[in-house]
């Protein structure tokens, strides 16, 4: 049996070891607690930093999205059509103005090959394909025309340039389209006015020189008719001379009206529909004598008052209606419609008169000359009808445009400023 003192020593040693173990454990636990608290503090700091980073990232993403949307809004609001093509020849961007100009939609063109949709046959008198873009210089400018789906002609100015990154790497092609149809019309009107002014001055001199001897011829032919009362054949020749003089005098009268319509003008406040209805009434006998012409008149319920000369306005409408009827020898449809245009706050309101036929139309080669005095395609025409119409419209402060193509009819669009004393004009 083990002695008591030896057993006590061993118990004492065990207690000491247990005490040291407990003390070591407590120290380790304390250090662990300190480490845990330090780690917890670091985690808290990391969470705070991560939250701040996430918040900053959200703000950055929102700002980028706002910038992206802003740029998209700008792109869609541009009056210039923007078409972006990637290096594979596919259309990646097609803004709203490009849709309006081409008559195509972004949905039907985006992702499609440029050559397939807008290639060789789309632009008139201009061969464009993706292969030709490879040699494109910076901002190459071109002019062409587009026949849209609804068969309207649009004059377009094109600019082609490479699309590059900030580093200068080429990543595609940018084609900008600008509708210059209205600008072309303004240029055409300016050129037309210049031509008519020059021709008017020349015609005034010619008229003065012709009228003097013409009066003498008329006097002598009248005297001859009286003296040859009993000579039937000779009297008939004198009557031919007199009739020829009257024809020449009629041409000169029209020429004078072309030169100075203001000399004949008697301005009053009138409803344009009155003169239109009168003109249509006087045209009825010619319409009825022509094969199957259907007349469609579409007027608004409200009157459209202008300051104008009733008789001169009738001359405009009769001339245009006569042209329309003569262009439909086999019959067709004559449409006359009017409306008030007041959609631009920067300009005054005006009355629009459209006279449209489904007749033979005007060839493209003749279109630039239709307002030139003495230009006519009719066998017995004087070529003064449209120049007189132009000058009368101009005298009333209005404009006239004619849209036509061969075998597709003609539409005459007259715009006259409305009288400011009615309907809040």
Structure tokens at 413: 């669009």
pLDDT of residue 357: 92
Which residue would you say has higher pLDDT here, 45 or 321? 321
Tokens (6 digits) for 296: 């469609």
Please give the CATH architecture assigned to the domain spanning 266-417: 2-Layer Sandwich (3.30)
pLDDT surpasses 80 at 423:
no
pLDDT (0 to 100) of residue 21:
75
DSSP string, 76-131: HH-SSEEEEEETTSBEEEE-HHHHHHHS--HHHHTTSBHHHHHSTTTEET----GG
The bridge status of strand 170-179 relative to strand 350-357 is unpaired
The predicted structure's pLDDT at residue 425: 41
Output the average pLDDT for the chain.
79
Axis crossing angle, helix 232-259 with helix 181-227, rounded to the nearest 10:
150
Band the pLDDT of 291: cuts 50, 70, 90: low
Report, as an integer, the average pLDDT of 26-32: 77
130-170 pLDDT, tens digit per residue, is 777 766 666 677 777 777 765 667 888 888 888 888 888 88
Q: Which two tokens stand for residue 243?
A: 């009739």
pLDDT of residue 305: 93
pLDDT tens digits for range 364-407: 888 888 887 777 777 766 677 888 888 889 888 899 999 888 88
Which residues 6+ apart lie within 8 Å of 22 measured at CB? Answer: none
pLDDT of 351 > 60? The answer is yes
pLDDT band at 200 (very low <50, low <70, confident <90, very high): low
The SS3 of residue 175 is strand
Q: What is the CATH number of domain 81-179?
A: 3.30.450.20
Average pLDDT of the residues in 178-184 = 83
What is residue 54's predicted lDDT score, i.e. its pLDDT? 83
Residue 196, pLDDT > 70, answer: no
Is the pLDDT score of 263 beyond 70?
Answer: no
Each domain of the chain, given as residue ranges in start order, spans 81-179, 182-259, 266-417
pLDDT at 186 over 80: no
CA dihedral 105, 109, 111, 116 (to 10 degrees): 180
| Res 410: pLDDT | 92
**Cβ-contact 321, 280 below 8 angstroms:** yes
Q: Residue 132 has what DSSP assignment?
A: G
Q: If you average pLDDT over residues 35-47, what whole number do you get?
A: 82
- pLDDT value of residue 306: 93
Binned at pLDDT 50, 70 and 90, residue 424 comes out as: very low
Query: Residue 264: its pLDDT value, please?
Result: 67
Percent of the chain with pLDDT over 90: 11
Residue 81: is its pLDDT beyond 50?
A: yes
How far is residue 141's CA from residue 161's CA, in Å, rounded to a whole number?
A: 9
Mean pLDDT of 120-128: 70
Between 293 and 255, name the one with better pLDDT.
293
């Amino acid at each position: 049996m083990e002695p008591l003192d030896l057993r006590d020593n061993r118990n004492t040693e065990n207690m000491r070891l247990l005490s040291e173990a407990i003390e070591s454990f407590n120290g380790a636990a304390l250090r662990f607690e300190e480490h845990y608290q330090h780690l917890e503090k670091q985690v808290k700091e990391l969470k705070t930093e991560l939250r701040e980073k996430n918040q900053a990232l959200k703000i950055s993403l929102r700002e980028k999205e706002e910038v992206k949307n802003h740029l998209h809004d700008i792109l869609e609001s541009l009056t210039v059509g923007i078409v972006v093509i990637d290096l594979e020849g596919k259309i990646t961007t097609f803004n709203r103005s490009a849709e309006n100009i081409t008559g195509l939609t972004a949905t039907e063109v985006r992702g499609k090959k440029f050559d397939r949709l807008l290639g060789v046959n789309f632009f008139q008198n201009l061969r464009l394909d993706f292969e030709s873009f490879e040699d494109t210089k910076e901002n190459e400018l071109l002019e062409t025309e587009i026949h849209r789906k609804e068969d309207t002609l649009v004059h377009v100015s094109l600019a082609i340039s490479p699309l590059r990154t900030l580093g200068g790497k080429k990543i595609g092609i940018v084609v900008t389209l600008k509708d210059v149809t209205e600008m072309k019309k303004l240029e055409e009107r300016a050129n037309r006015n210049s031509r008519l002014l020059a021709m008017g001055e020349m015609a005034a001199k010619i008229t003065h020189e012709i009228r003097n001897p013409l009066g003498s011829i008329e006097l002598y032919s009248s005297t001859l008719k009286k003296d040859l009362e009993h000579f039937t054949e000779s009297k008939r020749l004198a009557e031919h001379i007199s009739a020829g003089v009257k024809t020449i005098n009629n041409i000169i009268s029209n020429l004078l009206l072309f030169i100075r319509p203001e000399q004949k003008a008697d301005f009053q406040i009138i409803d344009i529909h009155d003169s239109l209805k009168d003109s249509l009434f006087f045209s009825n006998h010619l319409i009825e004598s022509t094969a199957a012409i259907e007349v469609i008149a579409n007027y608004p319920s409200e009157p459209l008052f202008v300051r104008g000369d009733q008789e001169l306005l009738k001359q405009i409408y009769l001339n245009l209606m006569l042209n329309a009827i003569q262009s439909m020898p086999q019959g067709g449809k004559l449409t006359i419609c009017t409306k008030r245009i007041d959609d631009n706050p920067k300009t005054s309101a005006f009355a629009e008169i459209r006279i449209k036929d489904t007749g033979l139309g005007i060839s493209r080669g003749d279109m630039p000359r239709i307002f030139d005095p003495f230009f006519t395609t009719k066998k017995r025409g004087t070529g003064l009808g449209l120049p007189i119409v132009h000058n009368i419209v101009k005298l009333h402060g209005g404009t006239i445009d004619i849209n036509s193509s061969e075998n597709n009819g003609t539409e005459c669009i007259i715009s006259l400023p409305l009288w400011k004393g009615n309907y809040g004009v």
